[in-house]
Amino acid sequence: MRKGEVAEVAANVFMARGTDVNWVLVRDGEDVTLIDGGWPGDVAAVEASVRAIGRRPEDVRAVLLTHAHLDHMGALNHFHERYGAPVYTHTTEVGHARRERLEQATPVDVLKQFVRPGGAGWILRILRAGALTHPSIPHARPFPTEGALDLPGNPVPVPCAGHTSGHVAYLLPDQGVVASGDALVTGHPLSRTTGPQLIPAFFTHFPEESRESLDAFAKLDAGVLAPGHGEPWRGSMADAVEAARASA
């Protein structure tokens, strides 16, 4: 996928590409659930992706956050402040979103990637997209109920801590899609491989726990992986986990 592209990965489930990062839209009648929101510089692209599926930004009923890293939370304050969309995430991740603590790569960690193949271009792109900004989401809320959420697509939160302490994926059971955030990806500009894999380790706050959390995906009844980075992937989640463990 190219930047600005929106692809329907299953009926009424769409993956959109921003600045080397993806977000997911779930359409149900006139309503939309947005999962993640790109970099701060991707706000216009997130709005455009909602229009690309035939809906308006004000049709977004809620935004679900996989984890509170800069490249996934960029449009969330905009959708809340302009359109009134609530932002939900795992209760453990709420404090991270509100910046009561910080679990992400440091600027020094990022600059060290300059010498890696593809690193210089990636750094320049994310700087333009807002990598030096410091947003928080003070209005972030924990999920209002346990199990499936009463939102378009009936998303089911799947806790998979490790990348951050409250990272959560979302299973869309009716469409057989998993929006996996950064807990299980299929590529990254700093990775030389494609297919199911763990994101480069320096991004991850608890690497051992992130490897253990792959077990949460292996049990899911789904045939499409919609990751936070990389291309959509089709196959069983057990096969995706096996591939990710092999690449690690």
Interval 172-201 mean pLDDT:
97
CA dihedral angle for residue 209, residue 211, residue 216, residue 220, rounded to 10 degrees: 160
Q: What is the pLDDT of residue 41?
A: 98
- Least Cα distance to 24 among 169, 140, 147 occurs for 169
* pTM for the model: 0.97
pLDDT band at 248 (very low <50, low <70, confident <90, very high): confident
Interval 198-217 mean pLDDT:
95
Q: Which residues contact 100 (CB under 8 A, 6 or more apart)?
A: none
In this structure, what token pair is assigned to residue 175?
């469409």
In this structure, what token pair is assigned to residue 112?
């060290």
Interval 217-241 mean pLDDT:
97
Q: Spell out a b/e string for 31-44, using b for 16 or more CB atoms within 10 Å of the CB, else e.
A: ebbbbbbbbbbbbe
Interval 165-172 mean pLDDT:
98
Give dist(CA 63, CA 42) in Å, integer.
15
Interval 228-245 mean pLDDT:
98
Interval 110-122 mean pLDDT:
93
Angle between helices 43-52 and 76-83 (to 10 degrees): 70
User: Which amino acid appears at position 150 of this protein?
Assistant: D
* Weakest-pLDDT range from 125-129, 163-167, 178-182, 244-248: 244-248
